[in-house]
Amino acid sequence: MTEKKDPKTPDGFRLLMNVEDDIEAGIIESKLKTCGIDTIKSYREQGDLLNIVLGKSFMGVDILVPEDKYEEARNLLDSAQDIKDEEILADESFNDETAKASSEAELKKLNRFAWIMVALVLVVIAAAVVLALLLR
């Protein structure tokens, strides 16, 4: 008896895993891509439509890899299971002062933008109140 192939699975690719959402899929795809392994994201049944409408597919996201890279991808992901959060946070990239300064500058810009938007909303409300009082 032959194994049925999922009609969405392109020839030469194999299902590596199903993950909960696009964020998790993106992290795994990024890791595999840095190791030279191509990936394809695929949604089950109406999952792609649900992802557009609701922002989430309740059937998860399938990650497909080339059949000849399947074992390498599986081993790569299995080896990452042993890494502890402390090891990741100890990486010097988390202490990069340039990245921190850039993030702080972006937050200040966003904060300024938020205050400008609040001021604009208040001006519009005040103008509406004044207009309503004048039209009485």
Same domain, 106 and 129: yes
Q: Give the count of beta carbons closer than 10 Å to the beta carbon of residue 48.
A: 16
Which structural domain, as residue segments, surrounds residue 60?
13-82
Q: Within a domain: residue 87? A: no
Q: What is the greatest pairwise CA distance in the chain?
A: 83
pLDDT at residue 10, rounded to an integer: 76
As for how many domains the chain has, the answer is 2
Reported as a pLDDT band with limits 50, 70 and 90, residue 3 is very low
**Inside any domain, residue 104:** yes
> CATH code at 55?
3.30.70.1530
Is the C-alpha dihedral spanning 37, 78, 40, 72 positive or negative? positive
Q: Per the domain annotation, does 18 fall within a domain? A: yes
- 91 found inside a domain: no
Sheet holding 13-19, edge to edge: 13-19, 61-66, 40-43
Q: What is the pTM of this model?
A: 0.53
Q: Are residues 104 and 66 in the same domain?
A: no
Domain-located, residue 4? no
118 shares its domain with 72:
no
**3 in any annotated domain:** no
Compute the average pLDDT of residues 15-19.
90
Alpha helices in 1-96 (DSSP H): 22-34, 47-54, 70-80, 85-89
Contacts for 116 with CB less than 8 Å, ≥ 6 apart? none
Of 39, 59, 82, the residue at which a domain comes to its end is: 82
Task: Tell me: do 23 and 54 sit in the same domain.
Answer: yes
C-alpha neighbours within 13 Å on the C-beta side of residue 43: 15
Q: How far apart are the first and last CA of the chain?
A: 83
Lowest mean pLDDT among 15-29, 52-66, 67-81, 97-111: 52-66
Q: Is residue 89 situated within a structural domain?
A: no
CB under 8 Å to 62, separation ≥6 — which residues? Answer: 15, 17, 18, 41, 42, 43, 44
pLDDT of residue 81: 76
Q: Which two tokens stand for residue 12?
A: 């030469």
